[in-house]
Amino acid sequence: MGLTHVTVTLRNLAAEGAGYASDFLVDTGALDCMAPAGALNEAGIAIEGREVYELANGEVVEYPYGFARVSFMGTETVSKVIFGPDNAEPLLGVVALESTGIGVDPVNQTLKRMAAKPLK
């Protein structure tokens, strides 16, 4: 998929405070979302654990993660969010996309709402 971006807001689970809003790269190769650690800390999102991830270049790294309310395109879900480096480009992972019923049109490189979420 090409470079598709969408405005996303991450907030803590209690939905307190302004949260963190930015332009996120839609990354269908990533399961989880990622945002700069400093921004997540400021938004009041708590670290819940650590996980090992493989980067696109094959490097294996360990990052802390937490859970956040993820809002975009008029939808909201709760998803795992990686506390990335402070210079990291924010990523919207496929789990958040699918749980909101928003799919990716690879031909037009756009996001589109599914008529219905599959339950089969």
Global confidence as pTM: 0.88
39 φ, ψ (degrees, to nearest 5): -70, -40
In the chain the domains, ranked by start, together with CATH numbers, are 5-113 (2.40.70.10)
Residue in this structure with the two tokens 């302004």, named with its chain if needed: 18
Structure tokens at 78: 């709760």
Closest CA to 13 of 89, 77, 85: 77
Q: Which residues pair with 24 in a beta bridge?
A: 6
Assess whether pLDDT exceeds 70 at residue 19. yes
Q: Tens digit of pLDDT for each residue in 31-78?
A: 999 999 999 999 999 999 999 999 889 999 999 999 999 999 999 999
Closest CA to 21 of 92, 85, 82, 80: 92
CA distance 111 to 105: 6
CA distance 118 to 106: 19
